[in-house]
Structure 1
């Protein structure tokens, strides 16, 4: 692969409610338009955060000004904020937005993660639809989740499966004041009516011994119908990150092959699934390389060729110190100033990767466009 060009989708504005632009996504809809979303706020976690939209009609070379279609989001009468928003085009005139809502009333002024309990604020998954290419949206509707999942984290855009169903990737969490052991797992929920109702959860990644945590499961559906997932893998006994692990499913995520160590760390982004079966994966390495990189694999289950690797971003600060305390680690995530790559396959064969980068004062939303030929 080669980097064709780089640029920014939206610049941060230090000292304002747009100082930190994170959780960037890009989706190409059927008319070729690129729709990007990001979370904006004065800090990486705040009760003034909201979702911004950006639009490009030239394959990402230029981007329009930010718009904010979602404001004052309440669930069960409680005020909350949207931490992230993923888009999936279900049909040419039907875009589904899936957002993760954070309750800002139940624990006023508290951070997202509780360092003492490893729990997090109450959350919910919300869905809205657009029939005009993302210009306007329906009211949010809340997805009902089993209580056993705790506050649900949405880790990936809604997937369109070969059988016409939809799959939602959810990660379990503990409640804010829960001191019990964290039984972490990732699950899929399915919809057979275009997102109106959802199934009970199906395990997508879990360590029955509760030793290994499979965080932030990033997933994609290959050209042959198989599903790949990529886990940010954490060893709770050693307090260390492991390499990214890939799992493959041949039946839409209802069962999975054994996890494969990809040989590089640490947090993957959603993969770009190319029509010819190749896969581009971008990831952030915060503790060793201090950069964001990408590789390509010739097939969904093939190794990612080290010779194809490109560096998308290098961070100038000294290496970050690790910690063996999980609570401190969760809180420390809010201090990281680069990461969350998101890869999108474009209609012209290129791959566009967006990510956030900056410093504690401001973090902007950037992109790198890759040639895969």
Structure 2
């Protein structure tokens, strides 16, 4: 594997405004070959002014232009933040955007209140575009009290799959609990009730699931950033395989590799790649390959796509508490890997990164396998 080209989707240093912090990157390839990248812009990673922009490339990622600066941030009269947006192309050519909306009536700050162990209201909203993503309308609720967690998956001719998660705080009667979900729609309009990808668990939290449909086997493959709540530490990344018809997933198993968010990239020849966040030192984004469906991973051929030039990321030490872990997320300077397989078999990778948390750009890289 080798990087043959790289550049920036968006460099905030080139614009004269205060929205210098980009994150929550996602990539969609349209049927005509156009690429869309959605990403959050804000004055800080946890600022109330966050909104999701959309950029377009018609030359396989070589150049990019803005087609949308953001969505309506108020919802039901409440000021909010559109923290992320996942996009899909429907059969009639319209675009679907599933928005991760956050109640920001309380203003800026880390989302979790450590004293009450609660989060502000977060909802999944749907909107539609008939002009390629320039304008959006038709807002409706997909799921209340839910956090968006990865690209929308096209299930061949069956429909679309949206993924989410939610953490329930501890109280006198119950411990903390986290679960991962999937929401299926046959037409991209009406979504069926959520199904469990990973049922609620009070010991291991399976964060930030990323799903892909394997062109070789037809199965769904999911990867998780995995956290042991009692040890208050990340453990090895986990993965699971799912049936796209029954929407039933196997219990997650360890990938044997330490990391955080991982984007599965299944290939038609049966190989499985993972584009993942290597948060611990040396901080980096890496691409690795498996030839046995994720049972083992070839670390010798692992490709470093991005290497941080900053200091060691906060929250990666052995003594980090759960509260400190949440605070640290707002300081991380790279992440949210996304990927697409091009017609020639090469990869287009997208992620956010920068020298420090107050200056973060959106990057792309082209990789030949």
How many angstroms does 1:285 deviate by?
Answer: 1.2
* TM-score w.r.t. length of structure 1: 0.89
How many angstroms does 1:126 deviate by?
Answer: 1.0
Report what 1:148 is aligned to. Answer: none
Distance 2:346 2:246 in 1: 27
Mapping 1:332-347, distance limit 5 Å: 332-347=328-343
Contact 1:93 1:130 in 2 (8 A): no
Report what 1:268 is aligned to. Answer: 261
Distance 1:128 1:276 in 2: 36
- Out of 315, 321, 326, the position equivalent to 2:322 is 326
Report what 2:6 is aligned to. Answer: 6
How many angstroms does 1:132 deviate by?
Answer: 3.0
CA offsets, 1:36-60, max 9 Å, x none?
1110011001121111111111110
Distance 1:299 1:133 in 2: 39
How many angstroms does 1:19 deviate by?
Answer: 0.8
Distance 2:56 2:160 in 1: 25
How many angstroms does 1:135 deviate by?
Answer: 2.9
Going from structure 1 to structure 2, the CA distance change for 1:59 and 1:251 (only over 3 Å counts) comes to closer
- Out of 247, 252, 256, the position equivalent to 2:249 is 256
- Structure with the largest fraction of strand: 2
Which range moves more in the overlay, 36-45 or 308-317? 308-317
* TM-score w.r.t. length of structure 2: 0.90
Aligned-residue RMSD, C-alpha: 2.3
1:350 aligns with 2:342: no
Distance 1:92 1:310 in 2: 38
CA offsets, 1:48-105, max 9 Å, x none?
11111111111101112463142x3322221211001111123361221111001112
State the SS of the aligned residue for 1:91.
coil
How many angstroms does 1:199 deviate by?
Answer: 2.3
Mapping 1:251-330, distance limit 5 Å: 251-252=244-245, 254-298=247-291, 300-301=293-294, 303-320=296-313, 321-322=316-317, 323-330=319-326
Distance 2:107 2:12 in 1: 26
Report what 2:205 is aligned to. Answer: 213
How many angstroms does 1:251 deviate by?
Answer: 4.4
Contact 1:281 1:343 in 2 (8 A): no
Going from structure 1 to structure 2, the CA distance change for 1:133 and 1:335 (only over 3 Å counts) comes to same
Distance 1:242 1:119 in 2: 24
Which range moves more in the overlay, 230-239 or 281-290? 281-290
Report what 1:237 is aligned to. Answer: 230
Going from structure 1 to structure 2, the CA distance change for 1:185 and 1:308 (only over 3 Å counts) comes to same
Distance 2:19 2:273 in 1: 30
How many angstroms does 1:302 deviate by?
Answer: 5.2
Mapping 1:218-229, distance limit 5 Å: 218-223=210-215, 224-229=217-222
Distance 2:32 2:191 in 1: 29
State the SS of the aligned residue for 1:307.
strand
The gaps in structure 1 that reach 5 residues or longer are 146-150
The gaps in structure 2 that reach 5 residues or longer are none
Report what 2:32 is aligned to. Answer: 31
Contact 2:46 2:109 in 1 (8 A): no
Contact 2:110 2:330 in 1 (8 A): no
How many angstroms does 1:26 deviate by?
Answer: 1.6
Count, aligned residues: 362
1:361 aligns with 2:358: yes
Distance 1:257 1:8 in 2: 37
Which range moves more in the overlay, 276-285 or 317-326? 317-326
1:187 aligns with 2:181: yes
Distance 1:56 1:15 in 2: 23
Distance 1:341 1:172 in 2: 21
State the SS of the aligned residue for 2:323.
helix
Distance 1:91 1:195 in 2: 9
